[in-house]
Amino acid sequence: MNLYFRLFWLLFWRTRHCRKIDFLGTSRITYRALPSDCDINFHLTNSRYPAFMDLARTYMLAEMGLLKRFLKLKWMPIVNAAEFTYIRDIKPLKTFEIKTKVVGWDEKYFYIEQRFVSERGLHCIVHVRGVFVCKGKQVPLDVLVKEAGYTDAAPELPPEVVKWKAFLQLKKERNM
C-alpha cells in the first residue's frame, strides 16, 4: 500500500515541484525505508529496490520535462533487463537517495544507471535496459531522443554496461 501512496505523492506533488535537468543529467529523489519496506533481516528487502527504481525513473522523466509529453503520446516504458549489485544494506527508518541517469543508448535500447546512496555511502548500483512502446510497437530510439530535444551523438556506454550488454547477448544466444 505504501508504494501506491508514494506513487500518488510522486505524480500529484513531487513532479509539480521538481527541479529541471537535461537529458543526460542526474535525477535525485530521497526516500525513507519504512518498516513495511524491510524484511526479517531488518533491512530494505530486495523486492523493494525495483519498485523504488520505477518511481525514481518516473521522477527523472518529470525532471527532464518529458513525463507529461510521453504520457500524452501514450509512450510507456518497458524494462527489458536489469542487473543489481548490492553493496551494503539499508536499515529501517534510514533515508536514502536514488540517483538516476541515462548513460546511453544503442540502436534498440536505452541504458540507465541507478544508485542507492545514504550517509553510509553506496548501497546498490543497478543498470537497467529498456524501451518505450506505443500501441504494442517500440518507439524508435532516434524518435525518442529527438522528442527529448537531445541533438548530440549518443554518449559512449560505460565499460560495465558494454560487458553486461555482451553478457545478455550471450545468454540470448545460448537459449535459442
What does the pLDDT look like over 9-37, one tens digit per residue? 777 667 777 788 999 999 999 999 999 98
From the list 130, 95, 97, 101, the residue with the least C-alpha distance to 113 is 101
The answer to whether 87 and 122 are in contact (CB under 8 A) is yes
Residue 71, CB-side half-sphere exposure with 13 Å CA sphere: 8
What does the pLDDT look like over 44-86, one tens digit per residue? 999 999 999 998 999 899 899 898 899 899 999 999 999 999 9
Q: What's the predicted TM-score (pTM) here?
A: 0.91
CATH assignment of the domain containing 46:
3.10.129.10
The predicted pLDDT at position 10 comes to 72
The answer to whether 45 and 38 are in contact (CB under 8 A) is yes
**Structural domain of 135:** 2-174
List of residues 6+ apart from 60 with CB closer than 8 A: 21, 27, 100, 101, 102, 112
Query: What's the structural domain count of the chain?
Result: 1
pLDDT at 150 over 50: yes
Q: Is 104 exposed, middle or buried (0-12, 13-18, 19+ CB in 10 A)?
A: middle
Amino acid of residue 128: V
List of residues 6+ apart from 46 with CB closer than 8 A: 39, 84, 86
| Residue reference for cell 531488518 | 42
Give the max Cα distance, the chain. Answer: 48
CA distance 91 to 102: 28
